[in-house]
Structure 1
Amino acid sequence: MSASESKKQKTFFWSHGGPTFMYKTSKDVPGANTPYNYVEKFGHRVKSEFKPKYIAVISAHWQPRYAGPESMKKVYVASPKNLDQVIDNDEKIPNDLIYDFYNFPKYMYEEKFESYVTKGIIDKIISFSDENVTVEKTERGIDHGVWVPSKVAKLDVYDSKEDFIPFVQVSMLPNIPNGNGEDERLNENANIVDTFKAHIQTISPLIRKINEDGGLVILSGMSVHNLSIFKKVISEQKHPEFVKRFNELLRNIIEEDKKSKDNHSALRAKILDLGKENSDNIKKLFEAHSPEIDHFLPFVIGVGSISEGEYITELFNAEEYSLGWGLYQVGS
């Protein structure tokens, strides 16, 4: 079946790393070779086995700021400049790149990732708006949570331009503030449980619609993402135990879900429980994702998107310093 034919597609979560992930041997991120190899093989499967009509990525690096309750029912689709002037719905329009990383060597800001989107794909995702969510387009490039791991996956390498699988990026929702501080992106200032619930209720159904339209969805975050201590643990050559514990926690939760046969109600309850102040596991969540929860939200979206009789499967994971490199298949 060709990529242009519509068939129900799959959803995956991958850990996207930083710009150093683009290089198979990186002295900046020792040990990143193994996830590099796996993501590279995964990209081959996308092109040779899955053959989606398009790839839609939800990245941890596109989270709008909270602007009241109405902002929790609105997501955005990244649109190239001057899209309204395009007449042909199938014309491949280049995506601009956002170099949203800081204080790295100059050559990393000169890297390219060639990708395209079409007006027809953007309009189709906008048409998935319903009473739960409004989808709007906004002029924007694709951020490094999209293009860096996709470059590792060689999703910009094809025999001809006609073979390219179109790329489109969709935003997450904001974090809901808890009233304790101005910056609701911080764990201590966010209402984590309600933010989790909003992503499950609002974006997860949108993921299923994209899959049914033939779009392969990639949820791009990190299974563990604690940059606040990253440089320190590298310099001290330490591997904090919480990274492994948090990966194991997720592993146990999704394995128990396969045994429960309760249509994922216990799975969702355990994920929400991570955000409760009285939860035994809240400290692990803060340790693993401090100071922000943005890199965990794509996983939460995945938890909400699986249907009855389908499950989350861990395809690969590794712990390196204060990072976790989980890759999961979400559903069947």
Structure 2
Amino acid sequence: MGLKDTFYVSHGSPTLSIDESIVARKFLQSWKKDVFGEKPNSILIISGHWDTTVPTVNVIQTTNDTIYDFYGFPKPMYQLKYPAPGAPHLAKRVKELLKNSGFNRVDEDKKRGLDHGAWVPLMLMYPEADIPVCQLSVQSHMDGTYHYNLGKALAPLKDEGVLIIGSGSAVHNLGAINPRGGVAPWALEFDNWLKDALLDGRYEDVNHYEQKAPHARKAHPHPDHFYPLHVAIGAAGENSKAKLIHSSIELGSLSYASYQFTSDSS
């Protein structure tokens, strides 16, 4: 089963896991019905919450642990579980593809489960937790083009029935969150620039967003939540078509904008 689509989903706040008032929660819950009805063989998810020196995959032989990598949140959030099977064969394939594409060092972690950038959206998208999941890290000391090429190396996985998902936040500045204010103009401007660039196929501009986008540094003081987008674009290909599949901003400056990238060939 070959797949034509890759995705970037914004997971925003960890409270997405329990807060029914977050609009993006309903979007993710409608995933199989309204966005992507095919059931993949396995899922490769790239989360902004796993940041390493070199590309690293988790190699889990049994069930992925649920990592609670957040602090001071309501107790029910720490009782949630997402016991998705590990995907050791996919992890091996990821390492093989990356090394064949010039990523000379690719590491593996045999203990690490799924952080909340992975399990929170997946819990809403695939609540049965019956699809094997492998997680891949980002390298925030590198740039957008590096992560685009990382995704490009992984493109063959689509033909093998693997769903590639980048998980981050389209605008992610936790220091600028304002629960009582309206949407920050700078956040909306960056969010709209990103939408226009993606829908116009200006992927090179997105790769060089620091120079091209308005308020780039404010929208992403640290790029870890943005680089999963570049991986998703690269895996789809330079001639892929982007589609905005969800748009909302919470807490004044936290964007949940999410995108689908469809390859031009099957």
User: TM-score, length-normalised on structure 2?
Assistant: 0.88
Q: Which residue of 2 aligns with 1:268?
A: 203
The answer to whether the aligner puts 1:75 opposite 2:10 as a matched pair is: no
Give matches, 1:31-50, under 5 Å.
32=22, 34-44=23-33, 49-50=37-38
Tell me, in whole angstroms, the C-alpha distance in 1 between the residues paired with 2:203 and 2:20: 38
Are the counterparts in 1 of residues 203 and 238 from structure 2 also a CA contact under 8 Å? no
Deviating beyond 6 angstroms after TM superposition, the runs of 4 or more aligned structure 1 residues are none
Specify the structure having the higher radius of gyration (Cα): 1
Tell me, in whole angstroms, the C-alpha distance in 1 between the residues paired with 2:132 and 2:35: 12
Helix, strand or coil for the counterpart of 1:330? strand
Tell me, in whole angstroms, the C-alpha distance in 1 between the residues paired with 2:102 and 2:197: 28
Structure 2: which amino acid aligns with 1:302?
Answer: A
Q: Aligned to 2:241, which of 290, 311, 315?
A: 311
Give matches, 1:64-213, under 5 Å.
64-65=52-53, 74-80=54-60, 83=61, 93-128=62-97, 129-133=99-103, 134-139=105-110, 140-153=112-125, 155-157=126-128, 164-176=130-142, 195-201=143-149, 203-213=150-160
Tell me, in whole angstroms, the C-alpha distance in 2 between the residues paired with 1:274 and 1:307: 18
Report the CA distance shift for 1:299/1:326 in structure 2 as closer, same or farther (over 3 A). same
The answer to whether the aligner puts 1:56 opposite 2:44 as a matched pair is: yes
Are the counterparts in 1 of residues 151 and 234 from structure 2 also a CA contact under 8 Å? yes
Q: Which residue of 1 aligns with 2:194?
A: 250
Helix, strand or coil for the counterpart of 1:200? helix
Higher relative contact order (CA 8 A, sep 6+): 2
Report the CA distance shift for 1:45/1:76 in structure 2 as closer, same or farther (over 3 A). farther
Tell me, in whole angstroms, the C-alpha distance in 2 between the residues paired with 1:127 and 1:45: 34
Q: Which residue of 2 aligns with 1:25?
A: 20
Tell me, in whole angstroms, the C-alpha distance in 2 between the residues paired with 1:274 and 1:123: 32
Structure 2 gaps, min length 5: none
Helix, strand or coil for the counterpart of 1:113? coil
Report the CA distance shift for 1:50/1:197 in structure 2 as closer, same or farther (over 3 A). same
User: TM-score, length-normalised on structure 1?
Assistant: 0.72
Q: Aligned to 1:222, which of 169, 179, 186?
A: 169
Helix, strand or coil for the counterpart of 2:138? coil
Write out per-residue CA displacement over residues 63-84 of structure 1, whole angstroms, 9 at most, x where no aligned residue.
114xxxxxxxx4111123xx4x
Tell me, in whole angstroms, the C-alpha distance in 2 between the residues paired with 1:127 and 1:219: 20
Report the CA distance shift for 1:46/1:113 in structure 2 as closer, same or farther (over 3 A). farther
Tell me, in whole angstroms, the C-alpha distance in 1 between the residues paired with 2:233 and 2:90: 25
Write out per-residue CA displacement over residues 26-74 of structure 1, whole angstroms, 9 at most, x where no aligned residue.
5xxxxx1x21111111144678x21111011000111114xxxxxxxx4
Helix, strand or coil for the counterpart of 1:219? strand
C-alpha displacement of 1:303? 3.2
Are the counterparts in 1 of residues 59 and 87 from structure 2 also a CA contact under 8 Å? no
How many residues were matched structurally?
A: 259
Write out per-residue CA displacement over residues 266-290 of structure 1, whole angstroms, 9 at most, x where no aligned residue.
x2332244223xx5x35x1112123
Tell me, in whole angstroms, the C-alpha distance in 2 between the residues paired with 1:44 and 1:147: 19
Are the counterparts in 2 of residues 18 and 148 from structure 1 also a CA contact under 8 Å? no
Tell me, in whole angstroms, the C-alpha distance in 1 between the residues paired with 2:226 and 2:96: 27
Tell me, in whole angstroms, the C-alpha distance in 2 between the residues paired with 1:108 and 1:197: 35
Helix, strand or coil for the counterpart of 1:117? coil
Report the CA distance shift for 1:121/1:316 in structure 2 as closer, same or farther (over 3 A). same
Tell me, in whole angstroms, the C-alpha distance in 1 between the residues paired with 2:51 and 2:138: 5
Tell me, in whole angstroms, the C-alpha distance in 1 between the residues paired with 2:256 and 2:139: 23
Helix, strand or coil for the counterpart of 2:164? strand
C-alpha displacement of 1:10? 2.2
CA RMSD in angstroms, aligned pairs only: 2.1
Are the counterparts in 2 of residues 9 and 50 from structure 1 also a CA contact under 8 Å? no
Structure 1 gaps, min length 5: 1-5, 27-31, 66-73, 84-92, 159-163, 177-194, 258-266
